[in-house]
Amino acid sequence: MRPMFVYLLLISVPTLLSADFIITESEDHEVGYGSRSPNYQPLKTLLKKRSTNGLRNKNREKIQVYSLKINSKITSRFAHNVITSRVVNRATKSKEALFEVELPKTAFITNFTMTIDRVKYSGEVKEKEVAQQQYEVAVSQGQTAGLVKVSGRKMEKFQVSVNIAPAKKVNFELIYEELLKRKLGKYEMILRVKPKQLVNHFQIDAHIFEPKGIAFLNVHGTFLTNDLEQAMVKNRTETKAHISFKPTLEQQQKCPDCSETLLDGDLIIQYDVNRDLSGGDIQIVNGYFVHHFAPANLPRVPKNVIFVIDRSFSMRGLKFRQTKLALLRILGDMSTQDYFTIISFDSTIEKWRDSLVQATAENVLQAKRYIIYLQLGAETNINDSLLLAVSLLDTAHKQKLPERSVSMIILLTDGDPNVGEKDPVKIQINVKNAIQERYSLYCLGFGFDVDYSFLEKMALDNGGVARRIYDDSDSALQLQGFYNEVANPLLLDVEMQYQENAISELTEATFRQYYDGSEIVVAGKIADNSLDTFMVEITAKTASSNLSLEEKVNVSDAERILQYQQYIFGDFTERLWAYLTIQQLLNQRISADAGENKKLTARALELSLKYSFVTPLTSMVVTKPEENKMDVIALADKPIKNAKRQKQKNRKYSTVSPGFHLRQRGTLLSGASPTLNFASSADHSVTSVDGDPHFIIQLPKQLNAICFNINGKPGSILNLVTDLQTGININGQLIGDKKIENNQTLNTYFGTFGIENRKINMKMAVTTEIITIYCNEENTIIPWSTTATLTYESCAVSIRKEKDLTITMGDGATFVIVLHRVWKNHPLHRDFLGFYTIDSHRLSNMTHGLLGQFYHDVPYKVYNIHPGSDPEKPEATMVVKGHNLIVTRGWQKDYRLDSKWGANITCWFVHNNGKGFIDGTYTDYVVSSLFD
């Protein structure tokens, strides 16, 4: 996943569909994986104990997996993964078995074999064109053939189906390799566990060996019950770790008398290695070395950022709302050391400021206001927008920017250039000539229909990367996640210098920047066989000094460390070098001219064939010898990124389905304030309730807000939003101060919210202590002391530690709950919550509730403004819903932009608990329970 990319591995455990098998006691004996466990019982016996005759008959009609193993060996961040599945057909006729595996797009398949009736059919890596011809011939002849295809955002799916004759067995084995990339301070491996049936011998083994030492190791699973936890064994020493997961049949069962499995979710392994301010970690095996460099304890380098935001009409809807939400959060996370500005463009170009400004609290607040009220335009002028950004950076560097700082341009667009310069090639040339290797350009392409190849080349030409942002409910999190990867530069102009004439075939060894939480990896070949001491000198610039580090390693000692390690797999340093070299050659091709591109392609193809890697240049053909001819059974073919893809209707990009994926984000959502994506008042109503409790209503096409208070009783539960059509219901429960002083009225606040979406069977109970999520009969409890993100099939939930919670449902309906902490052991007040509606366009016209009734326009008129009893608070008459109400001009606290102090918002205050402005009286909205 490119620079600072957390390693992501999703394995959809081989799923056998459209086929029928049964396993008998004899098959159980033939699994052949070492000794039996103490709890071993023949499967036939277990079925007799737990099943009816109907269940046994049903099992006889199925293809059944009797053994499924995932074995992963990770040595110095390089992962070698083997997936083995064994099935049997006990039916009286041939059946089809589908072997299906999901693997990361950055992984390379290295081997695939099938053993049918004790005959092994192995794969052979060939040049893509040659393999494709064989594949097409096989398809034309009606033979079974398979491909690796894109699967979701980061994955590729390999699948192949074969016919199994009666009473025959087939073994599948897939091997792939990948370099784990460090992102936000950790490596992460996620195994998608989804066998879809009980498996007699199910086993996951993950071995980790890190000579530098393992700093921490976390393992958890979304599907783990108390019983399944007992099947998990974690062993860790200073440099090694072994995670083993071997659930019995009883532990896999959802219930004692059923055949449904609990194994349905993600097993997540996270770790990092020990770090300090040194020259890094070097491993040497058989003449090849790998060098990892990720220093710690360094001061942060200031950065200068220009956000170039597409506001053309094609960005309408979810894209624009999510872009605003991400920018508001990003602005809230900026350091006061940083400088920034914003350029927005359609057919015209608009500067927020004429120059870059320091990220002070006031400037950040003003920028947030600009983003909130940013409007959509028409066409797309990318060329002039980027050239303006370069010009602003040029001027700023001459005037005020720190000498030691990182300057970057972040472009976010979803369309093609169609105003000004329209030729993508000319735009790339113009931008490259303007930047002249001084600044980094990051291009974020929104959606599948964006011209991604255009953005990718432009980014790589200018020291950055391109990233595709999927227009989904969590696209704001994708944008902010990318920004966090480049938010904290620690080093500039990093250069790794190895012994001259002693090292050859070196991968990239110079880097413009090093960012906190990432890692630099260099590999190469030791050309001097007599070399005793391997040495590297690293030079770089920190925020305030020039840095020089030197690292020396005795070659014999380094080889001895790895020589007898059972966790490594052969000459892993050589394979890692080949993997990294191929990846870099493929990237270099993107920005090379025709002649250079041909040379780079030839070299990448040569290495792919030599090391049997399935890359965009090669495919793996599995053939079956039959009567002196070769019939293609399967083709493993790595997809090539399309320049532009047509939109698909009703597409979904859920990280997991069904269920959810909880992933700790570190600093992903940290920041100063709940940066909320409010739509313009010209388009949507903006509603909130906060304080004791103050309701603030900003209706569409109205300049002035309307506010009212509710003087309810502690313990009362009020309905805020109800929409029977979408199934969304939101209630809030009041709490009161600890005591009343000086006979004053008891203040009440919202202490708990209940959010329900009946269409997706999800509920959330939010208190000032914890967030509890009920989904698909599973409970997830998250304390406010955690920053986390949960992504469901049609809902995204993100928690910022001790700050706020954002819930986005589908392509709209976004809500934010703000946490207010009072002084510890305050004698009077309690912690409380505020509720904000950020986007309600997805909700229907049937929506009602204390807030919901105002999601659609409510006509009103204010006239006869005159002095009131308080000279600073004029009064007026409001005509609304057939009532003439006396209203008072005042202000309430709005915590949209500042969760700690809030901002004063002027509004017309409706007295008597909003009577006349709301439908009925507030007591009509009292309900009996949190989810009523």
Distances (CA, A) of 262 to 40, 252, 268, 498, 874: 19, 5, 16, 52, 64
Looking at the structure, tell me whether residues 724 and 584 fall in a common domain.
no
Q: Do residues 322 and 411 make contact, with C-beta atoms less than 8 angstroms apart? A: no
pLDDT in tens, 749-776: 999 999 998 888 889 999 999 988 887 6
pLDDT of residue 896: 66
Q: List C-alpha distances in Å: 672 to 361, 364, 377, 802, 810.
A: 10, 11, 31, 10, 27
Tell me whether the omega of the peptide bond preceding residue 658 falls within 30 degrees of 0, making it cis. yes
Enter the tokens of residue 513.
Answer: 């920047």
Tell whether 285 and 415 lie within a shared domain. Answer: no
Is the pLDDT at 458 greater than 60, yes or no? yes
- More confident position, 56 or 908: 908
The verdict on residue 227 lying in a domain is: no
Does 316 reside within a domain?
Answer: yes
Given a cut of 60, whether residue 645 has pLDDT beyond it is: no
pLDDT digits (tens, 9 = 90+) for 839-849: 787 788 889 99
| Burial class of residue 882, CB neighbours in 10 A (0-12, 13-18, 19+) | exposed
DSSP letter assigned to residue 746: P
Contact 89, 166 (CB under 8 A): yes
Are residue 336 and residue 431 in the same domain, yes or no?
yes
Do 504 and 436 share a domain, yes or no? Answer: no
Distance CA 173, CA 401 (A): 56
Q: For residue 8, what pLDDT is reported?
A: 30
Domain identity same for 340 and 418: yes
Strands 883-894 and 717-723: unpaired
> Residues 6 or more apart from 853 whose CB is under 8 A from it?
847, 918, 919
Give the domain-ending residue among 580, 597, 614. 597
CB proximity list for 41: less than 8 A, separation 6 or greater: none
**Is 285 among the domain residues?**
yes
Residue among 246, 194, 200, 245 nearest 11 (CA): 194
Same domain, 747 and 872: yes
CATH assignment of the domain containing 407: 3.40.50.410
Question: Cα 467 from chain centroid?
Answer: 12
Q: Is residue 638 part of a domain?
A: no
Question: Side-chain half-sphere of 679: how many Cα atoms within 13 Å?
Answer: 27
Residues 222-261 as b/e (b if ≥16 CB within 10 A, e otherwise) read bbbeeebeebbeeeeeebbbebebbbbbebbbeeeeebeb
Query: Across all residues in the chain, what is the average pLDDT?
Result: 80
pLDDT band at 871 (very low <50, low <70, confident <90, very high): confident
Instruction: For residue range 877-889, list pLDDT tens digits in order.
Output: 999 998 999 999 9
Same domain, 840 and 704: yes
pLDDT in tens, 372-425: 888 888 889 999 999 999 999 999 999 889 888 999 999 998 878 888 899 999
In terms of domains, do 414 and 547 share one?
Answer: no
Quick one: pLDDT at residue 57?
A: 46
Please give the average per-residue pLDDT across 473-488, as a whole number.
82
> How is residue 572 annotated by DSSP?
H
How much is the pLDDT for 158?
78
- Domain assignment of residue 61, yes or no: no
User: What would the pLDDT profile of 111-149 be if each residue is shown by its tens digit?
Assistant: 888 888 788 888 888 898 888 787 777 666 665 555 555
The number of folded domains in the chain is 3
Please, which residues have CB within 8 angstroms of residue 450's CB and are 6 or more apart in sequence?
A: 413, 414, 415, 468, 644
Residue 624 has pLDDT above 90, yes or no: no
Q: Are residues 807 and 857 in the same domain?
A: yes
The pLDDT of residue 684 is 59
Question: Rounded distance, CA 706 to CA 698, Å?
Answer: 6
The whole domain housing 506 covers 281-297+495-597
Instruction: Answer yes or no: do 741 and 861 share one domain.
Output: yes
Burial class (CB in 10 A: 0-12, 13-18, 19+), 217: middle
Mean local confidence (pLDDT), 541-567: 80
- Out of 92-96, 270-274, 387-391, 900-904, least confident range: 900-904
CA 430 to chain centroid, in Å, comes to 33
Backbone angles phi, psi at 624, to 5 degrees: -120, 115
User: pTM for this structure?
Assistant: 0.64
Question: What pLDDT is recorded for position 221?
Answer: 87
Q: Which residues contact 628 (CB under 8 A, 6 or more apart)?
A: none
Same domain, 530 and 470: no
pLDDT of residue 759: 82
Structure confidence at residue 155 (pLDDT): 64
- At residue 682 the predicted structure's pLDDT band, cuts being 50, 70 and 90, is very low
Of 557, 573, 597, which marks where a domain is finished? Answer: 597
Q: Which of 597, 622, 647 is the last residue of a domain?
A: 597
Distance between CA atoms of 66 and 59, rounded to whole angstroms?
12
Residue 690's SS3 state is strand
**Phi, then psi, of 589 in degrees rounded to 5:** -60, -30
d(CA 721, CA 811): 18
**391-395, 567-571, 708-712: which is most confident:** 391-395
Q: Both 462 and 510 in a single domain?
A: no
Asked, for residue 609, whether it belongs to a domain, the answer is no
The answer to whether residue 329 scores a pLDDT higher than 80 is yes
- Residue 741 domain-assigned (yes or no): yes
Kindly tell me if the per-residue pLDDT of 23 is higher than 70.
Answer: no
Q: Tell me: pLDDT of 246 over 70.
A: yes
Within a domain: 130: no
